[in-house]
Amino acid sequence: MFKMAEFRAFLLRGNVVDLAIGIMIGAAFKGVIDSFLADILNPLVAAAGGKTDFTEYSFTVNEAVVTYGNFISVLVSFLITALVIFYLIIRPMNHLQARRQSAVPEPEATTRPCPECLTEIPKAAVRCAACTAAVPAVG
């Protein structure tokens, strides 16, 4: 049976809302990158090569036309998007995680290896339970 309250709880969970916002921002950002390429970068590169548009670059092999300009344009779009995501999202998140992890102290070990048989024994032990060797006390 369909329960509206359960569905609402699923939709309002943090991960779903964050994912939806991320997708919307990503789509808007892709529009900005595509506009940058189409309106600024492609005309500059094309002007240097004597064409009206960078996507018109092509070559012919046995009557087959290979249009590599559009592929390069899409590749540049991908690289710019990846660089921006890396520097504006991934690096700051890694930095925050590293700071969070360094703030948590390592728990002190409660065991130590027996010098004779290398079995883990409690720190306060003066004799190994496995080999019965006398071990020095640790204070």
- The full DSSP string for 100-130 is HHHHSPPPPP-EEE-TTT--EEETT-SB-TT
Q: What is the pLDDT of residues 97-134, one digit of tens each?
A: 888 777 767 788 888 999 888 899 988 889 898 888 88
As beta bridge partners, residue 122 has: 111
**Domains, the chain, ordered by start:** 4-103 (1.10.1200.120), 108-139 (no CATH)
**CA–CA separation, 42 vs 74, rounded Å?**
11
Q: What is the pLDDT of residues 49-72, one digit of tens each?
A: 777 677 778 889 998 988 888 888
**CA–CA separation, 91 vs 97, rounded Å?**
10
| Rounded average pLDDT over 79-91 | 84
Q: What is the pTM of this model?
A: 0.52
**CA–CA separation, 125 vs 135, rounded Å?**
7
Is the pLDDT at 14 greater than 70, yes or no?
no
To the nearest whole percent, how much of the chain has pLDDT over 90?
A: 2
